[in-house]
Chains A and B, each alone.
Chain A
Amino acid sequence: MTRAPYRIHKLIQDMMRDPAAAARFATDPQPIFDQYEISPEEAALLDSGSMEAMTGLGVHPNLQMKYLRLRHSGGDGAKLVGAGPLDAYLDRLLER
């Protein structure tokens, strides 16, 4: 299977660890793309969001999900905490 150039994976991993940069990336990605030497073609494939395009680039599946969160969570993409998928079960899971 193709593996994406590391600069793509590094961009995603770095944004996940830097909420301020992630907030900038959500609204104005081009400077970050430039910083990580992401070509316009690569940026277009990434921002298509499609599994086929991102897999074609070789983006790791978990990092595909993180990328989508970074670009579409209103600047909070690096935050993993929040109202979530377990809410319907939490009273019983927490025995409260």
Chain B
Amino acid sequence: MGKVIGAIAMSHIMFPPDGIEEQAERVLQGMLEIRRRVRALNPDLIILAGADHLNNFTLAMQVTLAIGIADSFETLGDGGVPVSRFPGDRAFAEAFARFAAHHDYELVQVEEMRPDHGTAFPKLVLDPGNAIPTVPLYINAAMPVPPSPRRCYRLGEVLHRFVEEERPEGERVLVVGTGGLSHWLRMPGEGQIADAFDKEVIDAIITGQAEKLAELSSEEIVAASGNGGLEMIAWLFAAGALPGARGEEIYYEAVPAWITGMGAIEIRADR
């Protein structure tokens, strides 16, 4: 059997430091701390879950849950992330799609796409040399009808079972959920940061209570933390991959200049 060796949840963008140099540096140091922890965990494979921003999946065909099955992916280059190519893992991705279908989840299998900043920025943070095969999993919070928080958490549980039941002995899998935290993007409320709610999200997950958090509806999360805040459903997926495990905050910063709450946590397999 394989093992989910840890999970990370993290914001997936940064903006220029102009005027907030010290705070931006703290955010950057948080990102570099994530990188150090990934190196210490030494994963064989990363499952990187997050949202596309209507760059690959549009309103023409409103895909909510999808998995990248290609051998490699060239990133889109948006958000200031340099274009690069990283290896996927076709065997893992196709086998997980089949396993998930036996456990109530039909994941759209994607051969052709160019991951946008929601995947490419965290990939740069986690693995700057593109050395670790990484399977992109899409939890498209920006779709008009997004997947429910509960199903995102439970999909993480399905991934946990898949790794334990079907993957080779000794395989080390890191699960990462990206996006958030609170931000209101081009909707009434733009400019707010719900730092109290963001801290509730962080505290719930690092104390092993993500399943309870996942009882909130999408609408309740949007009301509490904005349409961008709903990206935390990918954090719930990451938490579901280590059900009940505890973790710790890596950093949190409410950044008014970027109109967003920025944060990251590590969930530890040994807690």
Q: Chain A interface: which size bin? A: 20 to 34
Taking A60-B59, A60-B144, A85-B15 as contacts, is the C-beta distance between A92 and B28 under 8 angstroms?
Answer: yes
Interface contact B59-A13, CB-CB below 8 Å: yes
Kindly state whether residue A74 has any CB partner on chain B within 8 Å. no
CA distance A81 to B80 in the complex (A): 7
Q: Pick the contact of A81 from B28, B77, B125 — CB < 8 Å? A: B77
Interface contact B186-A94, CB-CB below 8 Å: no
CA distance A55 to B17 in the complex (A): 29
The residues of B with any CB-CB pair to A shorter than 8 Å are: 13-17, 24, 28, 31-32, 53-55, 58-60, 76-83, 116, 121, 124-125, 128-129, 142, 144, 185-188, 190, 227
Interface SS of A by simple majority: helix
Which B residues touch A16, using CB under 8 A? 55
Query: Which residue of chain B has the shortest Cβ distance to A84 in the bound complex?
Result: B80
Taking A81-B83, A86-B14 as contacts, is the C-beta distance between A62 and B28 under 8 angstroms?
Answer: no
Q: Which of A3-11, A19-27, A28-36, A40-48 contacts B (4 or more CB under 8 A)?
A: A3-11
Known interface pairs A55-B188, A61-B227, A64-B186; 20 further A-B residue pairs with C-beta atoms within 8 A, sorted by A's residue number = A10-B60, A13-B59, A16-B55, A51-B190, A52-B188, A55-B187, A60-B54, A60-B59, A80-B78, A80-B116, A81-B77, A81-B83, A85-B13, A85-B15, A85-B80, A87-B80, A88-B24, A89-B28, A90-B80, A93-B128
Which B residues touch A60, using CB under 8 A? 54, 59, 142, 144
CA distance A96 to B14 in the complex (A): 19
CA distance A93 to B80 in the complex (A): 12
